[in-house]
Amino acid sequence: LYLTISNVFMSYSDFPWQNDSIRYSPKEEYAEYLNLYADHFKLREKIKFGTSVEQCTRTEDGWNIIAKDVKTGNETNYTCDFLTICTGSNSVPKDISKIAPGFMREKIHSIQFQDATPYKDKTVIVIGAGESASDIAVD
């Protein structure tokens, strides 16, 4: 899969893309860029994986966050100036079983698509008009 937005617009202003040419990068290249960004700004030490946010409360000075470690259940209290909510609304695929019920061959959701190799020389129909469908159709 390739980005549908060029590297010029997908890079951060404080960490420009290393290649000056305008291009649409494959997902692996963009993942590498994000890893370089995280390493450059030492972000990994600030990221808490396996954590559930239990409560966010606005205060006079910013935000109070209560987070819970999903393995241990231990809660930690954080205070911060800003809060960004990233819910991952597209992280759970929609049920496609009812789409084209008479079609008895393989159906996959875009979240399952890795590359076009298994579909080489096959007739494929891509349903959808979003970015993922467009990316897959080009592949």
Query: For tokens 């990316």, what's the residue?
Result: 135
Q: Are the C-beta atoms of residues 84 and 69 closer than 8 Å to each other?
A: no
Q: Are the C-beta atoms of residues 48 and 67 closer than 8 Å to each other?
A: yes
Whole-number pLDDT of residue 85: 85
3-state helix, strand, coil in the chain (%, to 5): 25, 20, 55
Whole-number pLDDT of residue 53: 93
- Give the integer Cα–Cα distance in Å for 134 and 115: 14
Q: Are the C-beta atoms of residues 55 and 78 closer than 8 Å to each other?
A: no
Whole-number pLDDT of residue 130: 80
Instruction: Name the pairing type of β-strands 75-80 and 63-69.
Output: antiparallel
Reference 50, options 31, 66, 78, 72; nearest CA is: 72
What does the DSSP 8-state code read for residue 16? -
Whole-number pLDDT of residue 111: 85
Whole-number pLDDT of residue 54: 95
Whole-number pLDDT of residue 6: 82
- pLDDT tens track, the chain, 139 positions: 677 778 888 889 999 888 766 678 888 888 999 999 999 999 999 888 999 999 999 999 999 999 999 999 999 999 999 998 887 766 778 888 888 888 888 888 888 888 889 999 998 888 887 878 888 888 8
